[in-house]
């Protein structure tokens, strides 16, 4: 074990974390979620990609873009009733800080996985909430896992308040006009090959907005990085190719 590794192991966790944070503090990149500057975003993923993970709050590109979008569009207000499906921890921590907000986090509980305290077991195709209930819904990178995504979309629309907004980002293959899906494809290896991940049941194409519209959403497909300079895109650690899909009712 290296000396640095030994020191890290002997120190109480919080001191080790403080030392690491001090070492990574800088001004090259800036995380909009935790509002801290760092010398870099850390590599993450398999295989690892560079420039992904905020060393302080653990945000990735998508969470940082979501937070910037929510702020830019003035969607973060006191007193909101918020539903956060498959919650990203960094966003959860910020949303819970909103004054007088009611915050509900939920995920489909699968055996063998653990969920943060307070995350309720939730089926996005059968939501146990009244109609017109939430001002803001965050449900990103969920629908590509859900066999009946049209039912999930109609449920999300049902519980959204008129005038409310649902952030519904998914991975999209922009070179495909149509969504690729086949319920007969269940082998994890085939799903990786066809849809990009072992537990994805489809690969959305450019028709994704249309599918949300068919469910009844008014859809805004927003390439928000086009409003930012290349320097800002780098500094905030965003993906140029990623779109924000915001559905309203
Ligand atoms: Zn951060």
Q: pLDDT tens digit string along 183-240?
A: 999 999 999 999 999 999 999 999 999 999 999 999 999 999 999 999 999 999 999 9
Cα 52 to averaged position of ligand 1 atoms, centre (Å): 11
Domains of the chain (ranges, CATH numbers): 1-58 (no CATH), 60-248 (3.40.50.150)
CA of 161 to the centre of ligand 1 (A): 30
Cα of 28 to ligand 1 centre, how many Å?
13
pLDDT in tens, 124-166: 999 999 999 999 999 999 999 999 999 999 999 999 999 999 9
Who contacts 140 (Cβ-Cβ below 8 Å, separation ≥6)? 62, 66, 86, 88, 167, 168, 169, 170
Query: Of 155, 151, 121, whose CA–CA distance to 137 is shortest?
Result: 155
d(CA 61, ligand 1 centre) in Å: 10
């Amino acid at each position: 074990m290296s000396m640095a590794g030994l020191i890290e192991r002997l120190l109480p966790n919080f001191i080790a974390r403080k030392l690491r944070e001090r070492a990574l503090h800088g001004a090259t990149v800036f995380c909009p979620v935790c509002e801290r500057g760092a010398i870099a975003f850390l590599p993450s993923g398999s295989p690892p990609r560079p420039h992904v993970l905020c060393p302080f709050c653990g945000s990735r590109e998508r969470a940082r873009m979501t937070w910037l979008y929510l702020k830019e569009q003035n969607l973060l207000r006191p007193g909101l009733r918020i539903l956060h499906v498959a919650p990203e921890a960094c966003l959860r921590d910020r949303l819970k800080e909103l004054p007088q907000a009611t915050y509900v986090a939920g995920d489909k509980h699968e055996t063998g996985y653990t969920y943060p305290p307070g995350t309720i077991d939730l089926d996005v195709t059968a939501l146990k909430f009244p109609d017109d209930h939430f001002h803001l819904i965050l449900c990103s990178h969920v629908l590509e896992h859900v066999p009946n995504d049209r039912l999930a979309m109609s449920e999300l629309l049902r519980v959204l308040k008129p005038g409310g907004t649902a952030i519904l980002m998914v991975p999209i293959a922009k070179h495909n006009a149509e969504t690729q899906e086949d319920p007969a494809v269940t082998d994890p290896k085939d799903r990786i090959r066809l849809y990009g991940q072992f537990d994805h049941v489809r690969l959305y194409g450019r028709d994704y907005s249309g599918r949300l519209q068919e469910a009844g959403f008014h859809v805004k497909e927003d390439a928000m990085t086009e409003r930012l300079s290349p320097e800002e895109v780098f500094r905030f650690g965003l993906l140029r190719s990623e779109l924000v899909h915001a559905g309203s009712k």
